[in-house]
Structure 1
Amino acid sequence: MVQVIVPQKLSQQVIDDLIQKKTDWIRKKLIIQQSVPTYKPKEFVSGGFFSYLGRNYRLKVLTGDRQQAKLKHGYLEVTVKPNQKSDQSLIRKLLQNWYITHATEKLEQKTETYAQEIGVRPSRIKVKEFKSRWGSCSSSGEIIYNWKIIMSPGPIVDYVVVHELCHLVHQDHSKQYWHKVRSIIPDYHSKRDWLKVNSSLLEW
């Protein structure tokens, strides 16, 4: 369903003309909305799939003396003590710590690479968890990334990095800003649409 909210003084003809002009845009937004997959809460047990840089890895919960998480032989392995194998909150925490560590490493590398290309230098780079965005850039030049973006394919991560770095040039979303983004990532629209459609897949 499409709901149109307009000022009361607008005539029906003006409203119809406006809708006609925006038909392609409305159709595109509806397609994106209908493509959004249903969110399914993750279960932190052996056999579950978790994405890293766009590739799915099966989780393997092992027991041992040392609590740890690592990517090994195509599996995301989480080791807990024998009496903790069913403790999903602990497994989640260990897995999240692994993601944050690797997200920090990858995002710092990508930020350095693209910062040189754009000709900017962030004052600080941090990785944390956001509820509703993938990154932020402060007026002081500090860039903060949502660690969950590291679950998406590499080109999507690149887009988020460039998106934030370009705010060091333009602190808004003006035409000049998007022109700068496009100069680095010409098909940024497709990356932005991917995030709109698949963001629920990056949630736990």
Structure 2
Amino acid sequence: MSRTLRRLLSPSPPPAMQRDTVRLRLDDAEIEVLRVRDPRARRIKLSVDERGARLTLPLRASLSMGERFLEQHRGWLAQQLRHYRSDRMPAPLVPGEPGQLPLRGELLPLHWQEGRYAKLDIDAQGACVQWPARGTPAMLQRLLREFYEAQTRADLGQWLPRYLPGLPRAPTRIRLKVMSSQWGSLAPDGSMALDLALVLGHPAAFEYVLVHELCHLLQANHSPAFWHEVEQRFPAWREQRDYFHLEGRRLKAMLRQLL
């Protein structure tokens, strides 16, 4: 095959994403919405997180279609942005300055002490960080991740013995990850992944996610039979699912801010 023919028959690379901003007035304030034209998108989508609002357009959608979509969802957008007001998010941690550390549905008072190496512990006053004089932001992020991973594994060690006896087998392993949308997953090989942000929320909500994923060892679907298994082990699962609908984005946003 000639080089020219090979080039003609080879699949062309997908178009790159295009980004710009569009201004929108909400109530008495004007905001900037990040507009992204994504070749992978199949529909117009509006999303909000702690960084602001994002409008995603598929290639076939015109700019005017996107603007009309924004206008139609103006009320929803204002409500979501209020949800991410700064008073609902703890301030970023600054070494040496008092702060708040989210853990298990609470904001623990955080104080600092000089130390030879970085260490984070829970004490009677809340949380205490031993911090070296030459500590770096990367060191703080690593310390926080190790702390949250240890706290997560402590919770799992408390709950797993309660649920494993009723299952055909245990998960082959459990991985802790920072997940963008999911809270957990179970792979065909039996390995489980859990979002590290779970330990920031109410313990009952975390326990529900664990039970949910464990029940996939019995039913690899979301059939009525699966939900029956969840119901038998965790009758209050609906309440915790509603909790994630209300607070899930904020929990994930707090973890991103910390790490």
Verify same fold: TM over 0.5. yes
The separation in 2 between residues aligned to 1:89 and 1:199, in whole angstroms, is 26
Which structure has the highest strand share of the two? 2
Q: Could you say which residue in structure 2 is the equivalent of 1:70?
A: 121
Gap change, CA 1:201 and 1:76, over 3 Å in 2: farther
Q: Say if 2:95 is the partner of 1:49.
A: no
Between structure 1 and structure 2, the one with the greater Rg is 2
The separation in 1 between residues aligned to 2:166 and 2:184, in whole angstroms, is 19
Can you list the C-alpha shifts for 1:156-195, whole angstroms capped at 9, x where unaligned? 1110110100111111111111111111111211101101
> Residue 69 of structure 1 contacts residue 94 of structure 1 at CA under 8 Å; is this kept in 2?
yes
The structure 1 residue matched to 2:111, chosen from 57, 60, 76, is 60
The separation in 2 between residues aligned to 1:164 and 1:42, in whole angstroms, is 33
* Higher RCO structure, 1 or 2 (CA under 8 Å, sep 6+): 1
> Residue 141 of structure 1 contacts residue 168 of structure 1 at CA under 8 Å; is this kept in 2?
yes
Matches within 5 A, 1:147-186: 147-186=196-235
Q: Could you say which residue in structure 2 is the equivalent of 1:124?
A: 173
Identity %: 25
The separation in 2 between residues aligned to 1:48 and 1:201, in whole angstroms, is 18
Q: Could you say which residue in structure 2 is the equivalent of 1:199?
A: 248
Q: Could you say which residue in structure 2 is the equivalent of 1:113?
A: 162
Name stretches of at least 5 consecutive residues in structure 1 with no aligned partner: 1-29
The separation in 1 between residues aligned to 2:183 and 2:126, in whole angstroms, is 26
Counterpart residue type for residue 83 of structure 2: P
The separation in 2 between residues aligned to 1:189 and 1:51, in whole angstroms, is 24
Can you list the C-alpha shifts for 1:18-56, whole angstroms capped at 9, x where unaligned? xxxxxxxxxxxx9xx87x831647401333222222232
> Residue 44 of structure 1 contacts residue 91 of structure 1 at CA under 8 Å; is this kept in 2?
no
Gap change, CA 1:93 and 1:135, over 3 Å in 2: same
The separation in 2 between residues aligned to 1:98 and 1:69, in whole angstroms, is 7
Name stretches of at least 5 consecutive residues in structure 2 with no aligned partner: 1-75
Q: Could you say which residue in structure 2 is the equivalent of 1:79?
A: 130
The separation in 1 between residues aligned to 2:147 and 2:216, in whole angstroms, is 29
- CA-atom RMSD, angstroms? 2.6
Residue 119 of structure 1, CA deviation: 5.0
Which structure has the highest helix share of the two? 1
